[in-house]
Amino acid sequence: MEPELLAEDAIPTGDPFVLFDDWFAEARDSEPNDANAMALATATPGGAPSVRMVLLKGHGADLGSGGGFVFYTNTLSRKGSEIAANPQAALLFHWKSLRRQIRIEGPLEPVSDDMANSYFASRARDSQLGAAASDQSAPMSDRREFIERFENVRRTYEGKDVPRPSHWSGYRLVPQAIEFWHDRPFRLHERRRFTRGSGGWASTLLYP
């Protein structure tokens, strides 16, 4: 029988952030594209859900109080509007080549302006220009409309730094639950769920 990857004594220090780091490092070595891609699920105050893929741009136990997982977006987009009204979310990583998933749930907090500025400045220039030109999630007549806006923004900032738009920033999901899932033959999967309490993290195995 294969060793139990999620046996309690196989998890370094019993810390889900440490286990996440181990799995994420393996994913970066094995996934052909965007190992940091994750599904982000948000919902309206009435509970209507929506989900989309975003990119993880920071994570760790020392990332703010309680640690976290960071992504960036236009805060006026659909996801931004839902987060403003209902700041709870869920993340899902699925690494097909490793046959693994990680599910993360918790509240969302905006990152600091300094953190958003630093990340925005690190982006490719065309990505900066695109963020300034796009009314993310708003209707448009055709793609040419966006390309024209993009070119106008390019001309505006020719020879200058592109400032971060005030409506473009990041969010940190502060995990309250993290579940690790590993595929096994015949759907006899391994699952371990960590939950945060007043005394720290506790974990338990789950039936597949």
Residue numbers in the known binding site for FMN are: 52-57, 72-73, 78-79, 101, 136-137, 181, 191
Give dist(CA 28, CA 13) in Å, integer: 22
Question: Residues forming the annotated binding site?
Answer: 52-57, 72-73, 78-79, 101, 119, 123, 127, 136-137, 181, 187-189, 191
Residue 184, SS3? coil
d(CA 203, CA 190): 13
Backbone CA torsion sign across 199, 58, 93, 1: negative
Structure token pair of residue 168: 């473009």
Binding residue ranges for substrate: 57, 119, 123, 127, 187-189
SS3 137: coil
Active-site option among 187, 192, 193, 196: 187
Sequence-distant (6+) residues with CB within 8 A of 87 are 107, 108, 109
Nearest Cα neighbor of 88 from 3, 174, 12, 7 is: 174
Q: How far apart are CA 109 and CA 32, in angstroms?
A: 31
Q: Is 187 a catalytic residue?
A: yes
Residues belonging to the active site: 187
